[in-house]
Structure 1
């Protein structure tokens, strides 16, 4: 079975049909740049461009960088604040047409769902936290495999700032930090999250997870196991498609 997944990010919008039996992309993903300002109409047009690239007709799962309840954005991170209060499922569903009903969810939750089913969290029980390091820090919290949605742990306070303003991979790039320096900040962040939730496992995702060998060995003093995500930057697309199937099955 295939369902289309789209991952909306602060810098790029990417998507592809997903093979839900394998938990992997059925075709090479297509990516376009996120418009700036990233207002709803502009982003919706770019989502349509990604889907039209594949001549896709059928259900679509879409991730969004913010809290989503009943298809509506309650917050907006790294996109325009005019998204707040927008019914994402209606906006994109109307833009794509009746042949493409839309299911929307938080981007980190989508990545987490994919990792828990097909990646590093497969068959893991207890408390598992998936963290995506990118433009910001996204989080997905699982208790015995069940998602607790919209946790937004990237906005925990760390040294007087939003944690993602201290430890995202964008901060590393913007300030040209060494891996050692950045890993020190990530360790402080993980220690804070561990103090609050006592997870058995941290799964580190986002684009930077491709270079996990550069920084994970530098992170010491954390009791929980720390492993890199396995689906890397495709996790959001896969998780979005999986969420559609779950919604269809009731």
Structure 2
């Protein structure tokens, strides 16, 4: 059964068919800019454009930059507010004509990393953090996802953490790597204090430049870059969609089930 993964981000919508056993893309991914404004109708059409580039898939996994509960998008911090309480899974399924599973974007990236990447075979509490347009978080306990944590919205120096420490904030404020790393360090220490994770997996586009800022961060918790980079969301979305297809009554969030 072929599965298409599509990752809806603040700046782009990208997708590809996925080998959910190996955790690989089966074709070169296709990307379109995220529409502005990023309202429901416009984003659905952008997703449809991506899906139209591929044939032979039976189901679709979609990531969304916000809280997703039972296929309904509950928050919309980095997309148009029309997404709040939108029946996303139903809307996408009607447009694409295929079964659709929708989950939080950081959760999807974490599912992929725990199944195939930097978090594979890690026990205890581990956290995936994606630094991009915002800060996404995914929390796993012994390989099982605890969904929709949204820990990028913790307060940091009196402001939403992602306003100060996201990669978008680094670029918008033209921060040096040293200054930005200091903010990321403050954020990670705050999360350490609250949760004491065994491992931080750092994802998002900036993870490709981990050598520029990892050496500048001093925390107690081990920290590693995501190994699947920008494909993690696509892969995790597809894995979750395939799990959901195996149990139509519920989305299975145990990433360990996807391991070879």
TM-score category by the smaller chain?
over 0.9
Shift of 1:245: 1.3
Aligned with 2:122: secondary structure?
A: coil
Shift of 1:54: 1.3
Shift of 1:56: 4.5
What is the alpha-carbon distance in structure 2 between the residues aligned to residue 57 and residue 238 of structure 1?
Answer: 14
Alignment of 1:136-151 (within 5 A): 136-151=134-149
What is the alpha-carbon distance in structure 2 between the residues aligned to residue 56 and residue 201 of structure 1?
Answer: 38
Q: Retained in 2: the 8 A contact 1:59–1:244?
A: yes
What is the alpha-carbon distance in structure 2 between the residues aligned to residue 249 and residue 43 of structure 1?
Answer: 27
Aligned with 2:76: secondary structure?
A: coil
Q: Retained in 2: the 8 A contact 1:2–1:26?
A: no
What is the alpha-carbon distance in structure 1 between the residues aligned to residue 215 and residue 239 of structure 2?
Answer: 32
- Structure 2: which 5+ runs fail to align? 248-260
Report the equivalent of 1:58: 58
Report the equivalent of 1:16: 16
Q: Retained in 1: the 8 A contact 2:2–2:59?
A: no
Report the equivalent of 2:196: 198
Please say if 1:233 is aligned against 2:230.
Answer: yes
Shift of 1:55: 3.0
Aligned with 1:182: secondary structure?
A: helix
| TM-score under structure 1 length normalisation | 0.97
Alignment of 1:46-85 (within 5 A): 46-85=46-85
What is the alpha-carbon distance in structure 1 between the residues aligned to residue 96 and residue 142 of structure 2?
Answer: 36
What is the alpha-carbon distance in structure 2 between the residues aligned to residue 35 and residue 157 of structure 1?
Answer: 29
Shift of 1:22: 1.2
- Structure 1: which 5+ runs fail to align? none
Q: How many residues align structurally?
A: 247
Q: Retained in 2: the 8 A contact 1:112–1:140?
A: yes
Shift of 1:226: 0.4
Please say if 1:115 is aligned against 2:109.
Answer: no
Please say if 1:124 is aligned against 2:122.
Answer: yes
